[in-house]
């Protein structure tokens, strides 16, 4: 079955066959407690790509970002960090920052827009140890600041002595919007987190990047958090494979996302968030109750739609869905996409 959002769905036998083929063409060894040529070369490759000194591969992004804020707290002596109120640490991690680290958080901005430099005016090196900034902001459909706005944020953090940590789970998806390389985008940040199971479509796995000293300390805390697994090659191998496979595809994904958003606006009058699509992700508001939409999505058999319903919608009785473009999405024609939404919305449009 074709998959509308994200990358093509594959069964386990196909995934294992793909890994077998990859192993036959790649010099890979088995790591032990974070040491192994394949794993360490992958870490060095990502560090060079982002223009940072070092990197470490971890099993989860939750752990990566907790380690980052822990290290910046130790560096500053302040167990308080700042972030937008939709930050993943606040909303999707069972308050691990508080329950495990006993940290406090200072929220910036408002939920309905990107935080900009003016929203950071209350922050100082005496009030917070670090700022977590998500690029792009998933809760707003992948919205991003302008390049000048982003540079102003980095400059403010530098001038005030606030450590800047980038939640870059989807940072490679932002290069088209910014018109700059990922290295230029993260330049000036103190630490960066990457994810491999989102835009790259791999299994679980993440990377934490920063200075050599930061990463050396991070390895100690990863061990303390239980993330220094005896062997992690089973996550690192598909991560590197899918990173290499899709690294240059993001401009195609972004272009397709813009095209689909325009289709949905023109043919159905649907609201797109953000109004101007900036990455390979956007939110679309459908005129259906979430329960009704869920039933229709589950009952649709012509394709797997995979449209996660977001937690809020602008108007009661509406559903806000997340649309993410990947390899699988590129296989759909405009006509097929229009037909799918005609079926889901139970309307007929004139092409």
The second-level CATH assignment, the architecture, of 31-246 is 3-Layer(aba) Sandwich (3.40)
DSSP 119: G
Question: Comparing 312 with 190, which gets the higher pLDDT?
Answer: 190
> Which residues on adjacent β-strands are paired with residue 332?
none
Phi first, then psi: what are they for 342, rounded to 5°? Answer: -60, -40
Tell me which residue of 24, 57, 66 sits closest to 231, measured CA to CA. Answer: 57
Phi first, then psi: what are they for 320, rounded to 5°? Answer: -105, 120
Q: How many CB atoms lie within 10 A of CB 5?
A: 21
What average pLDDT score do residues 285-299 get? Answer: 93
Percent of the chain with pLDDT over 70: 98
250-345 has which fold? 3.90.1150
Tell me which residue of 179, 142, 86, 171 sits closest to 257, measured CA to CA. Answer: 142
3-class DSSP string for 34-70: CECHHHHHHHHHHHHHHCCCEEEEECCHHHHHHHHHH
Q: What is the pLDDT of residue 316?
A: 83
Checking if the pLDDT of 313 tops 80, the result is no
Phi first, then psi: what are they for 50, rounded to 5°? Answer: -95, 0
Checking if the pLDDT of 153 tops 90, the result is yes
Tell me which residue of 343, 269, 267 sits closest to 307, measured CA to CA. Answer: 343
How far is residue 50's CA from residue 266's CA, in Å, rounded to a whole number? 38
295-302, Cβ contacts within 8 angstroms, sequence gap of 24 or more: 296/344, 297/344, 300/340, 300/343, 300/344, 301/1, 302/340, 302/343
Considering the chain, what is the average pLDDT of its residues?
95
Residue 10 pLDDT class (50, 70, 90 cuts):
confident
CB 83 within 8 A of CB 115: no
What average pLDDT score do residues 32-52 get? Answer: 98
pTM exceeds cut of 0.85? yes
* 85 token code pair: 């109120």
> Which residues on adjacent β-strands are paired with residue 324?
281
* 104 token code pair: 């406090």
Q: What is the pLDDT of residue 351?
A: 56
How far is residue 298's CA from residue 156's CA, in Å, rounded to a whole number? 47
**Lowest-pLDDT range, 101-105, 142-146, 309-313, 314-318?**
309-313
Checking if the pLDDT of 312 tops 90, the result is no
**For residue 188, cis peptide bond before it (omega within 30 degrees of 0):** no
31-246 shares its CATH topology with 250-345: no
CB 38 within 8 A of CB 27: yes
Q: What is the pLDDT of residue 88?
A: 93
Residue 350 pLDDT class (50, 70, 90 cuts):
low
Q: What is the pLDDT of residue 347?
A: 85
Looking up tokens 């083929």 gives 21
Residue 311 pLDDT class (50, 70, 90 cuts):
confident
**Domain residue spans in the chain?**
31-246, 250-345
C-alpha of 305 from chain center? 20
- For 166-219, the pLDDT digits (tens) are 999 999 999 999 999 999 999 999 999 999 999 999 999 999 999 999 999 999
Q: Is 244 helix (H, G, I), strand (E, B) or coil?
A: helix
Residue 302 pLDDT class (50, 70, 90 cuts):
confident
What average pLDDT score do residues 230-239 get? Answer: 97
DSSP 143: B
């Amino acid at each position: 079955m074709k998959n509308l959002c994200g990358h093509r769905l594959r069964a386990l036998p196909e995934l294992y066959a793909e890994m077998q083929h990859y192993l036959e063409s790649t010099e890979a060894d088995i790591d032990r407690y974070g040491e192994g040529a394949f794993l360490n070369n992958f870490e060095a490759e990502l560090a060079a790509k982002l223009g940072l000194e070092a990197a470490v591969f971890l099993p989860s992004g939750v752990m990566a970002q907790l380690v980052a804020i822990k290290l910046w707290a130790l560096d500053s002596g302040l167990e308080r960090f700042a972030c937008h109120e939709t930050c993943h640490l606040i909303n999707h991690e069972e308050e691990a920052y508080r329950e495990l680290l006993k940290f406090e958080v200072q929220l910036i901005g408002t939920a309905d827009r990107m935080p900009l430099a003016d929203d950071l005016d209350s922050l100082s090196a005496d009030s917070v140890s670090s700022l977590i900034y998500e690029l792009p902001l998933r809760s707003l459909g992948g919205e991003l600041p302008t390049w000048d706005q982003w540079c102003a944020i980095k400059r403010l953090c530098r001038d005030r002595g606030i450590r800047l940590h980038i939640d870059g789970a989807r940072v490679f998806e932002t290069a088209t919007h910014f018109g700059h390389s990922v290295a230029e985008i993260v330049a000036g940040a103190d630490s960066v987190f990457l994810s491999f199971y989102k835009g790259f479509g791999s299994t679980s796995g993440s990377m934490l990047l920063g200075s050599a000293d930061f990463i050396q300390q991070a390895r100690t805390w990863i061990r303390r958090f239980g993330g220094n697994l005896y062997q992690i090659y089973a996550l690192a191998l598909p991560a590197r494979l899918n990173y290499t496979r899709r690294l240059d595809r993001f401009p195609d994904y972004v272009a397709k996302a813009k095209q689909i958003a325009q289709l949905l606006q023109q043919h159905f009058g649907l609201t797109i968030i953000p109004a101007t699509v900036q990455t390979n992700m956007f939110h679309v508001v459908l005129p259906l109750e979430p329960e009704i939409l869920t039933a229709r999505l589950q009952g649709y058999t012509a394709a797997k739609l995979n449209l996660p319903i977001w937690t809020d919608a602008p108007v009661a009785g509406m559903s806000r869905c997340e649309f993410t473009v990947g390899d699988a999405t590129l296989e759909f024609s405009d006509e097929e996409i229009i037909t799918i939404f005609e079926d889901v919305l139970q309307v007929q449009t004139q092409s």
